[in-house]
Amino acid sequence: MIALQKISTDIWDMKYRFKSGESGVVDETIEDTWDRVAHALSRCEGKKAAHWKREFRSALEDFRFLPAGRIVSGAGTGRNVTLFNCFVMGTIPDSLGGIFDMLKEAALTMQQGGGIGYDFSTIRPKGSRVAGVDADASGPLSFMDVWDAMCRTIMSAGSRRGAMMGVMRDHHPDVLAFVEAKRDQARLRNFNLSVLVSDALIEAIDQDADWPLHFDGKVYNTIRARDLWDAIMAATYDYAEPGVIFIDRINKTNNLSWLETIAATNPCGEQPLPPYGACLLGSVNLSRFVADAFTDAAHIDVEALKSCVATAVRMMDNVVDSSNFPLEQQREEAFNKRRLGLGVTGLGDALIMCGIRYGSPQAVEAVDAWLGAIANEAYRTSALLAKEKGPFPLYEAEHYLKAPMVQSLDADVQALIAEHGIRNSHLTSIAPTGTISLYANNTSGGVEPVFGYVFNRKVLQTDGSHVEEEIQDFAYLTFRSVFGEDTALPDYFVEADGLTPREHVVMQAAAQKWVDSSISKTINLPRDIDFEAFKDVYRLAYDLGCKGCTTYRPNEVTGSVLSKAEAPAAVRKTDTAKPAGFINRPEELPGQTYKVRWPHSEHAIYVTLNDIVEEAVDSDGEIVQARKPFEIFINSKNMDHYAWTLALTRMISAVFRRGGDVRFVAEELGAVFDPQGGAFVNGRYEPSLLAVIGGVIERHLNTLGGGASPVAFVPESARAAAGAVEVEAVNSPARDQLCPKCHQPSIVRMEGCNTCTSCGYSKCS
């Protein structure tokens, strides 16, 4: 057995090892972690729990079966976390209240460790009229900025990076802006982006036809279909996004096509899911099933592989019954369909160990054979589980047996399903397995080729810093252990950037044949690949039957997580990672506090807006001081407002710190209607307290010159005269006067009492 590399034990310790704050370390070894997971998932088996605990523990040994990270870190810990990696959230209503309801659901889901996917196509395009408020809509991208800020805020509470997928339909009027969004290096950093590409768009491209961009029955613009496609490819070449999701193919081949419509995927794309669908993942490690490696007799032990698959399906089915769920809708969706996503990892290593070059015709044949065996065994096991425990609640034989995937299974497996039904609506999916494959002694991830045999990887630490460590590929380590350091590598040792785009895609297509969900695969390409050699890769993926495609070419916008190493490199600690555009808070900030009177509230509300002062160049080329909003605090003695005002201040402050045009914040708040009725404030009707706060923000931005970018510092005399005074301005926080509770410079004098706008402390209360 090859000794574990330091990267594997480090990741286990940081991400998967159970530690209790009260009693100290609970998992002393990786074997303890396996014992914990096996015990937790066997408790669903009743009188046979002891037997299945042994079987589950055997499958986990030597990383043969790798449950997804949420399962390894959470099962058996007693923590209030979900064991499901990702979710597609509910359909976003085209209303401000509905949008922020969805934002709340997203925050609750991410708080428990679940990644999320959303279709933002349901939000009306930028510039369209909003009935009843005489205003223009800010469009879906502005709300994606709010989601991005939320994700960054939730991420700050733990070491696991937030993950989100944002998709948009190819006919949405804002689709070109969506495609170009990540050219801004500070924007949407917590999102993966993909365009939902329809069969109709592909047909229009082939016919060089016009393509109408429409929403809710209204055509807003018409462009050439080819121009949209070219824009997607240019953006993907320049900064690796957006990806494409072939949404019509996904829905046509869905095992539950009669029951659900899919409009989005989980963050990495391997699980197309209906609203509130849950993503339950696990991977069989093919590299551990190679017999007689690096000999002419090398092969996959198919019977051992099938035995592991059968155990893995039962383990994953038990996760459904063992997991917490952030939302009740997610629980219902999971229990009604019992969707699984069993996939593979170590494919690239297994091919090398069998002497097969990735991307070759022999590799395509191997993938077809290996994944065909896995799919048939997974469906066979699920049918037998249905006999034992019952099929998933929404199973309907007359529809299910006609699904394309079911029709492709072996005749005996189809017969079992026809006789007993099936326990799980879906069974196969291939995740990227990035961290989990590193944990398994750096096995090649998912269906990817080996990135590099020796490389450096930046690894995020719990304190936000990164370390860069040298890592060696598992197949490479195995080869060196047999043949020594001086033996030349055979020609079947091929790295990701040594493959053509076509060699990447044909492997994904070969795997897709046996995957009822989808595949997360990134086509890694060298920086110097010519655009002409690159531009047809998405179309090739469509033509070969893939359900989606993403690429990665190192570029100035995204940089690179992995870098090949020529020689061993020392581990070094780098600066704490910050999002692009992140600014540390200075000790002192200039600002203004505004007193708001709301007739429906007993106590006054105080809104503090603090600004960051930077240097900028004016129109004459002179360097001047510039000022832009940095943070907001909302405070009141009325504790009924505490929860929503705290959430609002954090979200708006995060948007301010991202930079760019933040005026939309005031506009959106101004459109909020209170169901209990509005009120007149200083002679003007305001539909809600939130609208009044939006007016305060707008007034403050006007004193700065608009809020779209850093603007010249405005003297206080000019600021006091700007616009009509609708609320009363009070003193700003006193210099060097810190709150005795939260120690922030946020003390203001309100109603004759020193009060903190950060935490609500009041000397008088």
pLDDT one-digit tens code per residue, 375-426: 999 999 999 999 999 999 999 999 999 999 999 999 999 999 999 999 999 9
Peptide bond into 242 cis (omega under 30): yes
- In this structure, of 38-42, 115-119, 191-195, 661-665, the range with the lowest mean pLDDT score is 661-665
Average pLDDT of the residues of the chain: 85
Answer yes or no: is 534 within a domain: no
Asked whether residue 746 carries a pLDDT value surpassing 70, the answer given is: no
C-alpha 657/C-alpha 635 separation (Å) is 20
Do residue 304 and residue 408 come from a single domain?
yes
CB 298 within 8 A of CB 292: yes
The answer to the question of residue 38 being in a domain is yes
> What pLDDT band is residue 134 in, cutting at 50, 70 and 90?
confident
Lowest-pLDDT range of 247-251, 520-524, 589-593: 589-593
CB atoms within 10 A of CB 506: 21
Residue that is written with structure tokens 């510092």 in the block? 713
pLDDT digit string, tens, across residues 84-109: 988 999 999 999 999 999 999 999 88
Which of 5-9, 262-266, 574-578, 602-606 holds the top average pLDDT?
262-266
Residues 124 and 55 in one domain: no
In a domain, residue 653? The reply is: yes
Active site residue 266: yes
pLDDT score, position 163: 84
Residue 91 placed within a domain: yes
22 and 121 housed in the same domain:
no
**Which two three-digit tokens encode residue 604?**
């006054």
In which band, very low, low, confident or very high, does the pLDDT at 568 lie, cut at 50, 70 and 90? very low
Q: Which amino acid is at 264?
A: A
Confidence tier at 323 by pLDDT (50, 70, 90): very high
Three-state DSSP at 456 gives strand
Domain boundary among 398, 423, 439: 439
Query: At 760, is the pLDDT very low, low, confident or very high (cuts 50, 70, 90)?
Result: low
- Assess whether 63 and 20 both reside in one domain: yes
Whole-angstrom Cα Rg for the chain: 28
Query: Does the structure show a pLDDT above 60 at 737?
Result: no
Nearest to 413 by CA among 457, 373, 369: 373
- Looking at 190, 266, 524, 635, which residue is catalytic? 266
Domain count, the chain: 3
Residue 619 confidence (pLDDT) above 80: no
Q: In the predicted model, what is the mean pLDDT of residues 448-455?
A: 90
Last residue of a domain, one of 385, 413, 439: 439
Q: For the residues 737-745, what does the mean pLDDT come to?
A: 54
Residues 162 and 215 occupy one common structural domain:
yes
Q: What separation in angstroms does the CA of 545 have from each of 136, 508, 509, 511? A: 41, 9, 6, 10
- Whether 353 and 327 share a structural domain: yes
Q: Is residue 46 domain-shared with residue 174, that is, in the same domain?
A: no
Q: pTM above 0.85?
A: no
pLDDT at 583: 59
Enclosing domain of residue 307: 10-81+279-439
Res 349: pLDDT: 98
Tell me, yes or no, whether 716 and 679 share the same domain: yes
Cβ atoms of residues 456 and 471 within 8 Å: yes
Could you give the CA distance from residue 748 to residue 496 in angstroms, rounded to a whole number? Answer: 59
Under the banding of pLDDT at 50, 70 and 90, the label for residue 559 is low
Would you place residue 753 in the very low, low, confident or very high pLDDT band (cuts 50, 70, 90)? low
> Which is nearest to 485 in space by CA: 454, 451, 456?
454
Is residue 55 domain-resident? yes
Q: Is the domain of 118 the same as that of 131?
A: yes
Last residue of a domain, one of 238, 253, 268: 253
Contact 472, 454 (CB under 8 A): yes
Are 433 and 397 contacting, i.e. CB atoms less than 8 angstroms apart?
A: no
The enclosing domain of 74 has a CATH number of 3.20.70.20
Sorting pLDDT into bands at 50, 70 and 90, what band is 162? low
Which entry of 105, 241, 260, 270 is annotated as an active-site residue? Answer: 270
- Percent of the chain predicted with pLDDT > 90: 58
Contact 515, 343 (CB under 8 A): yes
Contacts of 727 (CB under 8 A, 6+ apart): 594, 595, 596, 597, 607, 681, 682, 692, 695, 696, 699
Q: Are residues 26 and 90 in the same domain?
A: no
The DSSP annotation for 150-199 comes to HHHHHHTTSSSPP-EEEEEETTSTTHHHHHHGGGSTTSSTTEEEEEEE-H
Compute how many other C-beta atoms are within 10 angstroms of the C-beta atom of residue 710.
Answer: 21
Average pLDDT over residues 611-630: 65
**Same structural domain for residues 31 and 131?**
no
pLDDT the model gives residue 515: 98
Instruction: Reply yes or no on whether 546 is catalytic.
Output: no
| Residue from 86, 268, 549, 739 carrying the catalytic annotation | 268
Q: How does residue 581 score in pLDDT terms, banded at 50, 70 and 90?
A: very low
From the list 99, 154, 89, the residue with the least C-alpha distance to 119 is 89
Report the DSSP beta bridge partners of residue 291. 299
Q: Tell me: the pLDDT tens digits for 11-63?
A: 999 899 998 766 566 899 999 999 999 999 999 999 999 999 999 999 999 99
DSSP 5: P
Q: DSSP letters of 561-630?
A: SEEE-SS----EE-PPP--TT--PPPS---EEEEEE--TT-SS-EEEEEEEEEEEEE-TTS-EEEEEEEE
Asked if residue 569 is part of any domain, the answer here is no
- One domain, residues 112 and 75: no
Q: How confident is the model at residue 283 (pLDDT cuts 50, 70, 90)?
A: very high
Q: What angle do CA 439, 441, 442 make, to 5 degrees?
A: 85
Q: Is residue 478 part of a domain?
A: no
Question: If you average pLDDT over residues 746-754, what whole number do you get?
Answer: 52
Buried-state track 577-589, b at ≥16 Cβ within 10 A, e below 16 = eeeeeeeeeeeeb
The residues facing 189 across adjacent strands are none
Report whether pLDDT(470) > 60: yes
Tell me whether residue 398 is one of the annotated catalytic residues. no
**pLDDT reported for residue 339:** 97
**130 located within any domain:** yes
pLDDT at 430 over 70: yes
Instruction: Tell me which amino acid residue 512 is.
Output: Q
